[in-house]
Structure 1
Amino acid sequence: MKLTAQEHQLLKLHYALPVPYPRIARLLESNYDYKYVPNLSQKQRTNLNLKLAQLTPLPLLDLLLEKGIIPIPYTHPDYPERLKQLIDPPAILYAKGDLDLLKKTSKVAIIGSRKAGKYSVCAMQMIVPPLVQHGSVIVSGLAKGADTMAHQAAIKYGGQTLAVLGHGFFHLYPKENAELAATLAEKHLLLTEYPPYHPPAKWTFPMRNRIISGLSNSLVITESEIKSGTMSTIEHALDHGKEIFAVPGPIDSPLSLGPNKLLDEGARPIWSGFQIIESLVES
């Protein structure tokens, strides 16, 4: 991994101030004029200056690479073009695993409730194998429930999978997915916009959702309540014109309310991965 001098500068600034690229770009272009980040308090500005002073002499890139963490700045050739279409693209992506997955043209996000059960497992069995045969990368968020099922199904059927995290690599949430995360870091891909020290927080997961949507050609929702993080991912996808597929669910299940509502609003019903492949070929 080689970075330009400007990319090294961007990396160190983002390590100290992990905010989306537009805000950091204005700060860099203005030679650290803090009026371009008006919501920073005087204490935060002082802390930022101290962090930058500490980081300046450190070989930050080498230290990250020693931990198996590959930083991908916004201006680097490996940075996904699809994410540049977001209004607030990540300034830096931190990756562990196979970067070639970012270059795959076909990516399908499969998401759903943390409470997802056997019905979602059944849906994965119908949807994932054709996508794997087509060479699509399965994208999800490593959360409990449907996300975990999506990653596991991709692996089970011999495919590739990419997980977008809502925290830095020195943390892991949920902890019970440690073995799955290790497998993805070794043979697939883990991705986050947060520096390694950054812990999970309530607001980091909605931010994570825009990356899941941004990377993917299409999104599939299995089971979900109407008000959930899953539905926020769908909102991001709709804002960017992504095709939404929803698994029709039993009318007596609370976890069917999300996908059934989407179907009523125009999402495509799905019962086979071949439907997505047909859509990808047509586009």
Structure 2
Amino acid sequence: MILNKRDRLIHIHHCRGAGWKTIKKLFKHDPELNDVYNMTAEDFCHYLQMAPRHAKSFYEDLHQLDITALLTAYKKSSIFIITVFDSTYPSKLKAIYDPPWVLYGMGQSSLLNHEKILSVVGTRNPSKIGLISMEKILAPLVEQKWTIVSGLALGIDGYAHQLSLPSYTIAVLGSGLFHPYPKQHRALFNKIVSDHLAISEYPPYTPPQKWQFPERNRIISGLSFGTLVVEAKERSGSLITADQALEQGRDVFALPGSILDVNALGTNKLIQQGAKMVLSSEDILNELKCHRIS
């Protein structure tokens, strides 16, 4: 049995079938994560309400996975690990309903606890006007050394990272760090891990899967005081991030657009529903002064 509670959590986090809710149930049943190593697959079905096939996979990984070898490989690749037990865990993220149990990162871990953090999301197919508008909004924030968080996706996300390279940026992946996605942003990813920060709640060898991207959106919004939505269709993953921000009690900002532009339907509706309309960086700065950010 692994002696350190923190390392036991990391070990469990690598096991198949150990999703966020399962680990929460495990903590409720076994707060110190000691008994889990003596439990059977049938116990996992009973106490954790796991499906039999998931319980079998979880049991196998728990007793066969060489976590020491994995941690050694991560260290060689300059990957750091932060758990909810660590003092360095980002305080804003820890305050949300469902913070990640474990974060894997490459780059400057100190960025996670910067005060001046803004999340930026939007469509993968932005208009030229949308990109120019975003640059107008973000340029003054970058000059003031704000940290910009986004999801490394094509379109608005990638451009937000590019614009914030002179300052600080955090990429939140929907895959493991050994599988950055999309491949078109591999050079951008390399630049970010070299000079900034990339994080993921998925173990580094985890390949990208469709369901992981909406799940990681709560981290994008949870790291920051507010989320700016630049362009978004009426049904968009960016709106999921906006919804997450609202549920977390964070500010949501939106750039307005033409009623004839499909990429503005989502942002215009956000404004209609109470999001703060943004015409300049001052609109964001004025709202966030209540958080004592300067």
Residue in 1 that maps onto 2:176: 168
Q: Match of 1:207, as an amino acid? A: E
Are residue 19 (structure 1) and residue 19 (structure 2) matched? yes
CA separation in 1, counterparts of 2:76 and 2:25?
Answer: 29
Q: Match of 2:172, as an amino acid? A: V
TM-score norm. by structure 2 comes to: 0.89
Q: Match of 1:111, as an amino acid? A: V
Residue in 2 that maps onto 1:270: 278
Q: Match of 2:125, as an amino acid? A: K
CA separation in 1, counterparts of 2:76 and 2:62?
Answer: 21
| Superposition pairs of residues 53-92 of structure 1, within 5 angstroms | 53-55=63-65, 58-92=68-102
**Cα offsets for 1:73-117 (capped at 9, x unmatched):** 111111112222222221100001100101201110111011112
Residue 243 of structure 1 deviates from its aligned partner by 1.1
| Superposition pairs of residues 234-249 of structure 1, within 5 angstroms | 234-249=242-257
Are residue 227 (structure 1) and residue 235 (structure 2) matched? yes
Compared CA separation, residues 4 and 180, structure 1 to 2 (3 A): farther
| Superposition pairs of residues 3-14 of structure 1, within 5 angstroms | 5-14=4-13
Equivalent residue of 2:14, what SS? helix
Compared CA separation, residues 13 and 131, structure 1 to 2 (3 A): same
Residue 56 of structure 1 deviates from its aligned partner by 5.1
Residue 59 of structure 1 deviates from its aligned partner by 4.4
Q: 2:56 aligns with which of 39, 46, 51?
A: 46
Equivalent residue of 2:149, what SS? strand
Equivalent residue of 1:95, what SS? strand
- Which structure has more relative contact order (CA 8 Å, sep 6+)? It is 1
**Consecutive unaligned residues in structure 2, runs of 5 or more:** 37-42
CA separation in 1, counterparts of 2:3 and 2:222?
Answer: 26
| Superposition pairs of residues 176-255 of structure 1, within 5 angstroms | 176-255=184-263
Residue in 1 that maps onto 2:267: 259
CA RMSD of aligned residues (A): 1.9
Contact 1:131–1:274 (CA under 8 A) maintained in structure 2: no
CA separation in 2, counterparts of 1:4 and 1:215?
Answer: 31
Contact 2:11–2:67 (CA under 8 A) maintained in structure 1: no
Are residue 126 (structure 1) and residue 128 (structure 2) matched? no
Q: Match of 2:71, as an amino acid? A: L
CA separation in 1, counterparts of 2:9 and 2:137?
Answer: 40
Q: Which runs of 4+ in 1 moved over 6 A?
A: none
**Cα offsets for 1:2-50 (capped at 9, x unmatched):** x981101110110114422524523643722523421x22232222222
Q: Match of 2:148, as an amino acid? A: I
Contact 2:97–2:248 (CA under 8 A) maintained in structure 1: no
Count residues in correspondence: 278
CA separation in 1, counterparts of 2:7 and 2:51?
Answer: 26
TM-score norm. by structure 1 comes to: 0.92
Which stretch has the larger CA shift, 256-265 or 44-53? 44-53
Contact 1:80–1:102 (CA under 8 A) maintained in structure 2: yes
Residue in 1 that maps onto 2:123: 113
CA separation in 2, counterparts of 1:168 and 1:146?
Answer: 21
Q: Match of 1:263, as an amino acid? A: I
Residue 189 of structure 1 deviates from its aligned partner by 0.5
Q: Match of 1:218, as an amino acid? A: G
**Cα offsets for 1:236-264 (capped at 9, x unmatched):** 11112211111111221100101111111
**Consecutive unaligned residues in structure 1, runs of 5 or more:** none
CA separation in 2, counterparts of 1:209 and 1:228?
Answer: 12
Equivalent residue of 2:205, what SS? coil
CA separation in 2, counterparts of 1:184 and 1:36?
Answer: 41
CA separation in 2, counterparts of 1:213 and 1:265?
Answer: 18
